[in-house]
A = this chain, B = another copy of it.
């Protein structure tokens, strides 16, 4: 693990005290994930030796790391990394998608396609089913008046919701169908939020130029048995949406 320190030297001519220079090197390495949670930092004698500084200096650096909530000193073990985020880091208190523009037009969803497809390798893996299983694919564009806002693509295993192809999701909420009609219970989801550029096809649906930026959310939702039940892709026009995150101490 000394590898990560290799090449870094302390600067005796700096206005910065040596303990603070060492602290900074270790801090950077922890925050950058070179040292991971649970890793041991190099021992005091190793650091004394490597940098040619006093034991007291090394201790002072370690104390500052402890104060910042990054390191814990364990008797007989050494200095263990307990967090990669300084305790002064702010905690998320709220996050939500925000429109950059007011959406004055009448909101509605237009169904682009609603039919069965055979799961390819990627979809099969995400939904934990065999390849070629029948999936119901629903694509809708959310409009405000004549302007499109986002494209939504949903995949569910058809046999899980055998009548789903009979519904009209230009009128009905998918969520209401799942929960009110089918009495499904989903408890957990994982979302990946990515910056992408629109393909020709997506651009057409979203009334933008191909290559325009889109904010894409990939979401897998799991039921109470931890079985993935829905895979949803929402492609938002980046000129109309951004994600807001508020953080607090």
Contact = CB atoms under 8 A, between A and B. Distances in A.
Interface of A: 4, 15-16, 20-21, 23-25, 27-28, 31-34, 64, 68, 86, 88, 90, 92, 95, 98, 103, 106-107, 166, 171-173, 175-176, 179-181, 186-197, 211-216, 221, 236, 238, 242-249
A95 B245 contact: yes
Contacts of A28: 107, 173
B173 A31 contact: yes
Contacts of A25: 171
A187 B24 CA distance: 22
State the oligomeric state as a number of copies. Answer: 2
25 contacts: A20-B181, A24-B171, A24-B172, A33-B107, A64-B180, A86-B179, A88-B175, A90-B188, A90-B221, A92-B92, A95-B245, A187-B248, A188-B248, A188-B249, A189-B246, A190-B245, A190-B246, A192-B242, A194-B215, A195-B196, A195-B213, A195-B216, A195-B236, A211-B211, A243-B243
A174 to B, nearest CB: 11
A54 B126 CA distance: 45
Contacts of A245: 95, 190-193
Given A24-B171, A173-B24, A188-B248, A197 B194 contact: no
B213 A176 contact: no
A107 B30 CA distance: 11
Contacts of A193: 193, 215, 242-245
A32 B108 CA distance: 9
A125 B194 CA distance: 29
B214 A180 contact: no
A238 B216 CA distance: 11
Contacts of A194: 195, 213, 215, 238, 242-243
